[in-house]
Structure 1
Amino acid sequence: MSISPPDTATAASIPDKGKYVSVKKSLQRHVAQSPAFLPQLSAKAGDCDRMIGDIISNHYNQRTRKWKKWPQGLTPGPVYPVFHSLTKLCCDPKVQFLGKSDAQCDASEPISLNTSRGRYTVLCQEYNDPLTEEALLCLGAHVQEHLSPHIFINYVYGILLSWHRITFVRFDRAGAILSESISMADQPESFIKCLSGFAVLAKDSETVDDTISFLEQPLLLSGSSAHDATATFALEECLYDKRTLCGTSTRIFQIHNVNHPEGKYVLKDWWRSRDDADEAEILRKVSGLFGLPEYVSHWLVRGSNGAVQDTAFLDENLVPVPEFIAEHKWNKIECDGPDPDEEEPPFIRQLRVHSRLVVKQRGYHLIQFRESPLVVLIAIHDAVLGHWSLYKAGYVHRDVSYGNILVLPFAIAATKYQNHERLPVPALSNQCTAILNDFDNTVLSSELNATMDAGQRPKEKGTIAYMSAHLLRTKSRINQSVRSLVLDDLESFLWVLIVTATSVDCPSPVPSGWDSSAECWIQEGLFREDITNINSFAYSKYGFLDRFSSKSWSPFEFYDDTSRRYGPVITKLSDYMLARDSDRKKATRAKQPFPIDDDTLYLDVLNILREAIQSCGESV
Structure 2
Amino acid sequence: MSDSQSPSSGPRSDSVFQENLKDWVRGHIGGQTWEFPPNRLSQLLSAKTRKLATTTQTANTPPIILQNHHIAIDTIENYDCYIDTLADAVANAQNNFIERRPSQCLRSTYGDERSHHPGLVKFLNTALDSCKAGLGNEVQQAIYKELKFYVWDKPAQDGLDSAHPLKPALAGVLGEEELDSLFWIPPLEGRGMKIPGEVNGNWTELVTHAATYARVLFSATPLRQYALVIGYNPKERAMRFLVFHRGGLTASKPLELDSEQGQKDLILLLLSILTWKSLADAGFPTWCNENESQVHLPAIYSTPVTMHSELHHSPCIRGRAAHVYYLHIPHLADPTSAAKAVGAAPLDEYVGPVSHTQGPSETKTYDSGRSLVDVPSVENTTASISISRDLASTESPLSATRSSNPIRVNHPLKPGDYAVMKLSWIKVRGLGHKPIEPELLANCGGMFGVPRHYHSFLAHHQDDCPTTNHLFLPSDTDQTTRWDLFDADVTPDNIPEHRSLLGHVISHAGHSLESAPDFRSLLLAIVHAHLGYYNMCQMGYQHRDISIGNVLMADEPIEGAHFQIDILDDASATRDVRLNILSLCKELNISNRCTGFVIDGDMAVDWKFCFEESPSHTGDKAGTYQFMSDTLLEAQAQELDYWHSPIDDYYSFYYVAQWACICSPLNQPKDSWHLEQLREDVTRGLRARASLKVTGFLRMTLERYGALLAEARPFLRDWYRALEMLEVEWEKKREISAVAFRSMADHGLQTFLGVACKYLVVPQP
Task: Answer yes or no: same fold by TM over 0.5.
Answer: yes
In structure 2, the partner of 1:502 is 662
CA contact (8 A) 2:244 2:250 kept: yes
Per the alignment, in what secondary structure is the counterpart of residue 416 of structure 2?
Answer: strand
Residues 1:282 and 2:424 aligned together: no
In structure 2, the partner of 1:534 is none
Deviation at 1:123, TM superposition (A): 1.5
CA contact (8 A) 1:398 1:441 kept: yes
Separation in 2, partners of 1:612, 1:24: 46
Residues 1:263 and 2:417 aligned together: yes
Q: Which residue of the other structure, out of 474, 481, 494, is the alignment partner of 2:635?
A: 474
Deviation at 1:408, TM superposition (A): 1.9
RMSD of aligned Cα (Å): 4.2
Map 1:23-38 to 2 at 5 A: 23-35=25-37, 38=40
Q: Which residue of the other structure, out of 174, 180, 184, is the alignment partner of 2:247?
A: 174
Deviation at 1:233, TM superposition (A): 0.9
Deviation at 1:28, TM superposition (A): 1.8
Deviation at 1:278, TM superposition (A): 3.3
Map 1:40-51 to 2 at 5 A: 40-41=42-43, 45-46=83-84, 51=89
Residues 1:234 and 2:283 aligned together: no
Which residue identity lines up with residue 156 of structure 1 in the other structure?
A: A
CA contact (8 A) 1:107 1:146 kept: no
Deviation at 1:582, TM superposition (A): 2.8
Separation in 2, partners of 1:245, 1:419: 42
In structure 2, the partner of 1:339 is none
In structure 2, the partner of 1:568 is 714
Separation in 2, partners of 1:127, 1:404: 41
Which residue identity lines up with residue 74 of structure 1 in the other structure?
A: Y
Map 1:341-420 to 2 at 5 A: 345=492, 347-369=494-516, 371-413=517-559, 416-417=561-562, 419=564
In structure 2, the partner of 1:6 is none
Q: Could you give the per-residue CA deviations for residues 20-40 of structure 1, whole angstroms, max 9, x where no partner exists?
A: 344333322222112475474
Q: Which residue of the other structure, out of 108, 118, 127, is the alignment partner of 2:199?
A: 127
Separation in 1, partners of 2:714, 2:641: 33
Map 1:109-124 to 2 at 5 A: 123-124=195-196
Separation in 1, partners of 2:602, 2:443: 14
Separation in 2, partners of 1:101, 1:82: 15
In structure 2, the partner of 1:441 is 603
What is the identity percentage for the equivalent residue pairs of Structure 1 and Structure 2? 15
Deviation at 1:72, TM superposition (A): 5.0
CA contact (8 A) 1:451 1:457 kept: no
Per the alignment, in what secondary structure is the counterpart of residue 494 of structure 2?
Answer: coil
Separation in 1, partners of 2:96, 2:38: 30
CA contact (8 A) 2:245 2:469 kept: yes
**TM-score, normalising length from structure 1?**
0.77
Deviation at 1:220, TM superposition (A): 1.7
In structure 2, the partner of 1:219 is 293
| Residues 239 and 553 of structure 1: CA distance in aligned 2, closer, same or farther (over 3 Å) | closer
Per the alignment, in what secondary structure is the counterpart of residue 402 of structure 1?
Answer: coil
Deviation at 1:614, TM superposition (A): 2.2
Map 1:548-559 to 2 at 5 A: 548-549=694-695, 559=705
Q: Which moved more, 1:304-313 or 1:468-477?
A: 468-477
Separation in 1, partners of 2:748, 2:700: 26
In structure 2, the partner of 1:535 is none
In structure 2, the partner of 1:108 is 160
Residues 1:324 and 2:362 aligned together: no
Map 1:511-590 to 2 at 5 A: 511=671, 514-515=673-674, 519=675, 522-528=678-684, 541=688, 548-549=694-695, 559-587=705-733
CA contact (8 A) 1:401 1:466 kept: yes
Per the alignment, in what secondary structure is the counterpart of residue 462 of structure 1?
Answer: coil
**TM-score, normalising length from structure 2?**
0.64
| Residues 459 and 194 of structure 1: CA distance in aligned 2, closer, same or farther (over 3 Å) | same
| Residues 367 and 298 of structure 1: CA distance in aligned 2, closer, same or farther (over 3 Å) | same
Deviation at 1:77, TM superposition (A): 3.7
Residues 1:600 and 2:638 aligned together: no
In structure 2, the partner of 1:194 is 269
Separation in 2, partners of 1:507, 1:364: 18
Per the alignment, in what secondary structure is the counterpart of residue 549 of structure 2?
Answer: helix
Separation in 2, partners of 1:396, 1:253: 25
Which residue identity lines up with residue 222 of structure 1 in the other structure?
A: H
Deviation at 1:485, TM superposition (A): 4.0
| Residues 250 and 97 of structure 1: CA distance in aligned 2, closer, same or farther (over 3 Å) | farther
Residues 1:492 and 2:655 aligned together: no
Separation in 2, partners of 1:192, 1:600: 66
Deviation at 1:385, TM superposition (A): 0.7
Which residue identity lines up with residue 83 of structure 2 in the other structure?
A: A
Q: Which moved more, 1:229-238 or 1:502-511?
A: 502-511
Deviation at 1:493, TM superposition (A): 1.4
Separation in 2, partners of 1:302, 1:179: 26
In structure 1, the partner of 2:127 is 86
Separation in 1, partners of 2:742, 2:506: 39
Deviation at 1:575, TM superposition (A): 1.8
| Residues 607 and 452 of structure 1: CA distance in aligned 2, closer, same or farther (over 3 Å) | farther
Separation in 1, partners of 2:640, 2:264: 60
| Unmatched segments (≥5 aa) in structure 2 | 1-16, 47-80, 133-138, 163-183, 332-413, 568-580
In structure 2, the partner of 1:461 is 622
Deviation at 1:548, TM superposition (A): 4.9
Deviation at 1:506, TM superposition (A): 13
Q: Could you give the per-residue CA deviations for residues 289-344 of structure 1, whole angstroms, max 9, x where no partner exists?
A: 111011111211113321221111242235333233528xxxxxxxxxxxxxxx96
Q: Could you give the per-residue CA deviations for residues 83-113 of structure 1, whole angstroms, max 9, x where no partner exists?
A: 1232133054522355573994634279979
Per the alignment, in what secondary structure is the counterpart of residue 282 of structure 1?
Answer: helix
CA contact (8 A) 2:143 2:277 kept: no
Per the alignment, in what secondary structure is the counterpart of residue 498 of structure 1?
Answer: helix
Deviation at 1:470, TM superposition (A): 2.9
Per the alignment, in what secondary structure is the counterpart of residue 32 of structure 1?
Answer: strand
CA contact (8 A) 1:457 1:478 kept: no
Deviation at 1:364, TM superposition (A): 0.8
Map 1:414-429 to 2 at 5 A: 416-417=561-562, 419=564, 424=582, 425-426=585-586, 428=589
Which residue identity lines up with residue 45 of structure 1 in the other structure?
A: I
| Residues 166 and 556 of structure 1: CA distance in aligned 2, closer, same or farther (over 3 Å) | same
| Unmatched segments (≥5 aa) in structure 1 | 1-14, 328-342, 532-539
Per the alignment, in what secondary structure is the counterpart of residue 283 of structure 1?
Answer: helix
Length, aligned pairs only: 556
Q: Could you give the per-residue CA deviations for residues 570-617 of structure 1, whole angstroms, max 9, x where no partner exists?
A: 12112211222333445569xxx99975423312211211221125x9
| Residues 47 and 176 of structure 1: CA distance in aligned 2, closer, same or farther (over 3 Å) | same
Q: Could you give the per-residue CA deviations for residues 28-53 of structure 1, whole angstroms, max 9, x where no partner exists?
A: 22221124754745975346565556
Which residue identity lines up with residue 272 of structure 1 in the other structure?
A: I
In structure 1, the partner of 2:220 is 149
In structure 2, the partner of 1:252 is 324
Separation in 2, partners of 1:355, 1:526: 31
CA contact (8 A) 2:647 2:745 kept: yes
Q: Which residue of the other structure, out of 137, 148, 172, is the alignment partner of 2:208?
A: 137
In structure 1, the partner of 2:578 is none
CA contact (8 A) 2:515 2:664 kept: no
Deviation at 1:153, TM superposition (A): 2.6
CA contact (8 A) 2:121 2:151 kept: no
Separation in 2, partners of 1:594, 1:357: 27
Separation in 2, partners of 1:458, 1:169: 36
| Residues 237 and 594 of structure 1: CA distance in aligned 2, closer, same or farther (over 3 Å) | closer
Q: Could you give the per-residue CA deviations for residues 351-388 of structure 1, whole angstroms, max 9, x where no partner exists?
A: 1111211111121111011x500000000000011111
Deviation at 1:545, TM superposition (A): 5.6
| Residues 158 and 443 of structure 1: CA distance in aligned 2, closer, same or farther (over 3 Å) | same
Per the alignment, in what secondary structure is the counterpart of residue 460 of structure 2?
Answer: coil
In structure 1, the partner of 2:760 is 613
Which residue identity lines up with residue 380 of structure 1 in the other structure?
A: I
